[in-house]
Structure formats: structure tokens, C-alpha cells
């Protein structure tokens, strides 16, 4: 039996972040979650760190270490998304305040220490929010760049365009300077853009299957998804909302569900019209360095099968 893969999840929960964390916690044979680092994004940091702890407790894992990181992007004021996620970020179910403690260490220091104290190539970063903590960690200790196995990130959009502006996806838009630094760093990157996440919709039958598991975690998750999808159903006119962040964890568990190609990806940081755009050289029309594996397709049924099966294990 191979050793479970060591991961850090950097996140801004968010209902879909919660689904990603639960998917990881339901997969202990494959994934060893070293810590959850939180960042300001969907809602301010005060709430994202609280929400991460709520999700761990819902999953019966109060032992997971949760750290608070950056409370704002590296160079801009924070933009949040309460219009999607609700006032708390986890609107939907009735949730209790968490009892487990927040770690005293800053998330950026934890990332640095964790990567430096593991063997080179041992730690994978899974990013589900703006890339602020990661850019700050790279700045603080540049040696961690070469020691990471890879970064698997939810961010960007190319064929689908943007979801917060016509050109930009939310995670990249919130902190484009951080995303730019991370994309240029030279670490292997796998990117889950909107092109993938818009193919995994929370169809009624899928949410009902999750609810039917009947556990506290699964019912809360189904209620979160029911809240989360209303915004996207209205926006896209689809039968269910896209479930973005769990695609990152699903990729670690079953990469065969995905297909994409290695491309150059650059981030627009200057234009007021297209700031935060991920400019993907999908057709290889430049000779710019291929710095990311950009996913485009996913087996949606296989993905929901995996998610449902792992939620049932919590
Ligand atoms: C991303 O933005 C957030 O609203 C979601 O949690 C996801 O990480 C999708 O654009
Ligand atoms: Ca997120």
C-alpha cells in the first residue's frame, strides 16, 4: 500500500471549499492532510478560519490543524463574494460555532516550516482561494518553491470566460499579483479553471444522493449545496451550480477523471478591463514556457460518484 500523499489545503470556505475539505478528510488512505491554511476571499479571514474549523468538526476531525493567514490581497483591497456564499460563507445549514482552537502560528509560517521540514518533493499544495498565502510564503522562503511536489489549484477560466468579471475568475481576480508570482515561480502547477468546474453541476439527483447518506456531515453538505447553487442557477440558467473546489482534491484521488494540456498561463495585472484574466496559450501560438497543466474536461458522473462515496465515509 503506498503512503498517503501529504497535502496542505489553502482555502477560503465557502460551501464548495467545504466540499473539497470533506472529500480530502473522507480519503485518509490516499491523503494525509498536514494542515488547513485559510485566507481572505469568499468572506473575510475571520469567517474563513472559523468556517474551516466548522467543516473539520462536522467531519469529526477536530484534530486537524487550522491556521489563519493573510487578511487581504498583497496589493489591493479585498473583494468578497457574499452574494454567492451568503453572509457567513457557509450559509445553508444551521451550524454551531466551532469549539476546536485555531492554531497560533500564522498560515504563511506554517507553510514555510512544513515544506522545509519535509523531504523535497513530499508536500503538495492544494489551493482553493486567492493565492495570497502562497505568494507570501514564496517571498518569505524562496527555497520552498523547489521543494514542493506541485500545486493543484482551482482558479482561472479560459473558454468559459470569467465569473466575477467577463474576463476573470474570482480566485485570480481577488489577488492577481499573488497569482502572477505563483505562476511565474517555476513550481509544477495543475490548474482547474471554470472550463472544468462548470461541467460538474449540483444536479438535484446528485444533491439528493448526498443528503440520503444521512450523516450530519452529508446532510449539512447537501444543505450548503442547495444554498450555493441558487445563485448560479439564476445566473447560468442551468440545473444546478458548478462545484468548483472539490475538483482539486478529486484530481489527487483520480487524475484519470480529467484531461487537459500543458500550456503557458500568464495573469493580467494591469488592464482595468481584464485584470485577473488567465491568458492561456492553449493552442501553443507562442514559445512562452509551459508553466501549467490546464484541465479542460472532467468525467462528471465519476466525480460525483467519488465525492458521494467519500462523504459517506466521514
Ligand atoms: C472560486 O471562487 C469561490 O467563490 C469558490 O469557492 C471557488 O474557489 C470559483 O470561482
Ligand atoms: Ca474557494
Closest CA to 263 of 183, 154, 196, 149: 183
Q: What is the CATH number of the domain that holds 186?
A: 3.90.245.10
Choosing from 85, 149, 244, 284, the catalytic residue is 244
Range of the domain at 272: 5-201+242-308
208 is a domain residue: no
Contact 202, 225 (CB under 8 A): yes
Distance from Cα 128 to the centre of ligand 2, integer Å = 4
The DSSP code sequence of 67-130 is: EE--SS-SSS-----HHHH-SSSS-SS--PPP-SPPPSSBHHHHHHHHHHHSPTT-EEEEE-S-
Task: List ligand 1's pocket residues with C-beta within 6 A.
Answer: 14, 16-17, 42, 81, 84, 128-129, 154, 163, 169-171, 244-245
Give the residue, out of 9, 10, 14, with the most ligand 1 atoms within 8 A of its beta carbon, to mutate for a pocket test: 14
Per-residue model confidence (pLDDT) at position 1? 72
pLDDT tens for 41-68 read 999 999 999 999 999 999 999 999 999 9
Question: Is residue 230, in this structure, part of any structural domain at all?
Answer: no
Phi, psi of 67 (to 5 degrees): -120, 145
- The residue to mutate among 10, 12, 235, 250, having the most atoms of ligand 1 within 8 angstroms of its beta carbon, is 12
Q: Is 284 a catalytic residue?
A: no
CB 248: neighbour CB atoms within 10 A? Answer: 30
* Cβ contacts of 161-164, under 8 Å, gap ≥ 24: 161/194, 162/194, 162/276, 162/277, 163/194, 164/79, 164/81, 164/276
pLDDT at 11: 98
pLDDT in tens, 147-180: 999 999 999 999 999 999 999 999 999 999 999 9
Closest protein CA for atom 10 of ligand 1:
170
CA 85 to ligand 1: nearest atom: 4
Number of domains forming the structure of the chain: 1
Q: What is the DSSP string of 208-245?
A: HHHHHT-SHHHHHHHHHHHHHHHHHHHHH--SS-B--T
Supply 266's cell numbers.
Answer: 500568464
Q: Using 50, 70 and 90 to split pLDDT, how confident is the model at 233?
A: confident
221 part of a folded domain: no
**13 within some domain:** yes
Query: Is 237 inside a domain boundary?
Result: no
Q: Is residue 196 part of a domain?
A: yes
**Mean pLDDT in residue range 17-21:** 98
In a domain, residue 150? The reply is yes
Examine residue 213 and state whether it is found in any structural domain, yes or no: no
Closest-lying ligand 1 atom to the alpha carbon of residue 154: 8
Amino acid at each position: 500500500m503506498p503512503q498517503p500523499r501529504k497535502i496542505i489545503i489553502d482555502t477560503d470556505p465557502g460551501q464548495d471549499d467545504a466540499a473539497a475539505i470533506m472529500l480530502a478528510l473522507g480519503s485518509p488512505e490516499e491523503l494525509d492532510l498536514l494542515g488547513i491554511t485559510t485566507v481572505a476571499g469568499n468572506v473575510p479571514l475571520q469567517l474563513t478560519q472559523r468556517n474551516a474549523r466548522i467543516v473539520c468538526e462536522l467531519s469529526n476531525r477536530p484534530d486537524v490543524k487550522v491556521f489563519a493567514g493573510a487578511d487581504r490581497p498583497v496589493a489591493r483591497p479585498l473583494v468578497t463574494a457574499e452574494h454567492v456564499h451568503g453572509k457567513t460563507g457557509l450559509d445553508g445549514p444551521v451550524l454551531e460555532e466551532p469549539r476546536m482552537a485555531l492554531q497560533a502560528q500564522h498560515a504563511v509560517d506554517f507553510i514555510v516550516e512544513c515544506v522545509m521540514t519535509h523531504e523535497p518533493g513530499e508536500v503538495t499544495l492544494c489551493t482553493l482561494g486567492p493565492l495570497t498565502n502562497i505568494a507570501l510564503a514564496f517571498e518569505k522562503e524562496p527555497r520552498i518553491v523547489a521543494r514542493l511536489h506541485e500545486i493543484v489549484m482551482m482558479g482561472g477560466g479560459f473558454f468559459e470566460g470569467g465569473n466575477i468579471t467577463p474576463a476573470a475568475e474570482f480566485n485570480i481576480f481577488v489577488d492577481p499579483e499573488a497569482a502572477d508570482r505563483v505562476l511565474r515561480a517555476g513550481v509544477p502547477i495543475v490548474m482547474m479553471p471554470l472550463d472544468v468546474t462548470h461541467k460538474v453541476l449540483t444536479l438535484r439527483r446528485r444533491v439528493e444522493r448526498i443528503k440520503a447518506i444521512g450523516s450530519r456531515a452529508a446532510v449539512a453538505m447537501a444543505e450548503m449545496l442547495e444554498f450555493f447553487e441558487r445563485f448560479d442557477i439564476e445566473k447560468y440558467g442551468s440545473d444546478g451550480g458548478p462545484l468548483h473546489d472539490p475538483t482539486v482534491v478529486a484530481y489527487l484521488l483520480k487524475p484519470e477523471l480529467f484531461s487537459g494540456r500543458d500550456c503557458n498561463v500568464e495573469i493580467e495585472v494591469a488592464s482595468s478591463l481584464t485584470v485577473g484574466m488567465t491568458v492561456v496559450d492553449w493552442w501553443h501560438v507562442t514559445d512562452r514556457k509551459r508553466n501549467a497543466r490546464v484541465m479542460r474536461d472532467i468525467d462528471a458522473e465519476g466525480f460525483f460518484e467519488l465525492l458521494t462515496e467519500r462523504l459517506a465515509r466521514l
